[in-house]
Amino acid sequence: MQFDLIVLIVGFLFGFYMAWNIGANDVANSMATAVGAKAITLRQAVIIAGVLNLVGATFIGSHVTNTIRKGIVSTEVLADPHLALIGSLSALLAAALWVSFATWKSLPVSTTHSIVGAMVGFGIMGGGFNMVRWGKLLAVVASWIISPIFALVIAFVMFKIIVKSILEQQDPFERALKGAPFFIGIAVFVAVLSLFLKTPLGEKIGIETAGAIPIALFSAVVLGLIGTQLVKRAITPRLRDVEEIFRKIQIGTSCYVALSQGANDVANAIGPLAVIYFLAKTGTVGEQVPVPIFLLAFGGLGIVCGIAMAGSRVMETLGKKITTLSNTRGFSVDFAAATTVLAASKLGLPVSTTHAAVGGVLGVGLARGIAAVNFRIILQITWYWILTVPASAITSMILFKILQRIL
């Protein structure tokens, strides 16, 4: 069997394994709050997240990827195609192994930061410490603090708004119905902006900021009113409850996060695989490479398998072990996570959906008082976040040396 074909097969195996781990760990970002708040069952969450991640990865995922994720490592390390091949393989497997270990421990970690750490290890082995752009790496470290705190504040404020404007009023149910267009509308506004503003989908159809904001506002008004009518029809006299109204809304927000997750996170597996694919086919690679749709679909399929086979582990932690979630709290978390990712990514800050989701859950927990939060789990999660980049980097360096001897 030809050497290039063997490398390609190995690359696809490593890529699928990384995509599997993205599904297993990151599905909690979109579905944990819905499951924890009993808006949907675990089985329903797996099916919904699987379908939407596949659609997001295949049809909304970027068809062009940077060869070095997040620009953390200088592209000079790609000058030698053989070293670039070994580095991409080692980075892909190193990141996958760390995420797999965290999933086994039922703890949410950032798959983006895992691949960043792995690429740092590749950069050091491929060209020395001067190959790493330490300033950009510091920005990643800063996001460990920025993302969860930003999401914590938004979730805390949103839940307090719901409490003051609805839950503490004389007729909470009627107040919730009157407020439904607003809550549905702001969720739609953030979702539409996130889909079109400076994204691969927005670039494909030629929508820029000036066009995205009016479209988002129009969508928010229209879908806010339509969504409210659908919610009213779905509520029976027996289920005249505020949480039941927000249960319907939360299913929508969770679905959006799942779709967005598939579109954004598939690059963590398919980016390095695309490098391997083009190196094996052409022997060269530039700063950016086109990603064929079959590779995006392949990554989406790997994510689906991970969700189905191991997604429940991290969902249990995020949805139930940090604090008790209701549908109003779950909506606040989803809105906070989506808003944090939208704001940070548009400001050019490296942000993790995982960190934002955890921050959001912590925010709604703190809104009920410190006693409502399991800080032992929070400390465990934080420790794994701190370890993500160095653990992935060291593993990548070890794998680089092993693969260098073999290949």
Assess whether pLDDT exceeds 70 at residue 51.
Answer: yes
Write down the pLDDT at residue 162. Answer: 95
Pairwise CA distance, residues 58 & 297, whole Å: 5
- Residues 274/291, Cβ–Cβ less than 8 Å: yes
- Residue 136 confidence class, pLDDT cut points 50, 70, 90: confident
Mean pLDDT lowest for which of 101-105, 324-328, 342-346? 342-346
**Banded model confidence at residue 12, pLDDT cuts 50, 70, 90:** very high
Look over the chain and give the mean of its residue pLDDT values, rounded to a whole number: 87
Residue 147 above 70 pLDDT? yes
CA dihedral angle for residue 206, residue 208, residue 210, residue 212, rounded to 10 degrees? 90
pLDDT for 56 equals: 83
pLDDT recorded at residue 67: 58
- C-beta separation of 284 from 222 below 8 A: no
Say how many C-beta atoms besides its own lie within 10 A of residue 294's C-beta. Answer: 9
More confident residue, 275 or 383: 383
Instruction: Identify the pLDDT of residue 397.
Output: 97
Query: To 5 degrees, how large is the angle CA 57–CA 63–CA 67?
Result: 105
pLDDT at residue 64, rounded to an integer: 60
List beta partners, residue 65: 289
Q: Residue 379 has what pLDDT?
A: 95
Of residues 303 and 288, more confidence is placed in 303
238-283 pLDDT, tens digit per residue, is: 667 889 899 989 988 888 888 887 877 888 888 889 888 888 887 7
Strand partners, 290: 64
Q: How far apart are CA 341 and CA 347, in angstroms?
A: 10
Domain count, the chain: 1
Banded model confidence at residue 200, pLDDT cuts 50, 70, 90: low
pLDDT at res. 261:
79
Higher-confidence residue of 288 and 310: namely: 310
Question: What number is the average pLDDT over the span 157-167?
Answer: 94
pLDDT of 218 reads: 94
**Of 174-183, 276-285, 343-352, 372-381, where does mean pLDDT reach its minimum?**
343-352
> Of the segments 94-103, 112-121, 136-145, 202-211, which one has the largest average pLDDT value?
94-103
Q: Which of 128-137, 197-206, 230-239 has the lowest mean pLDDT?
A: 197-206
Cα–Cα nearest to 91, from 186, 206, 11, 170: 11
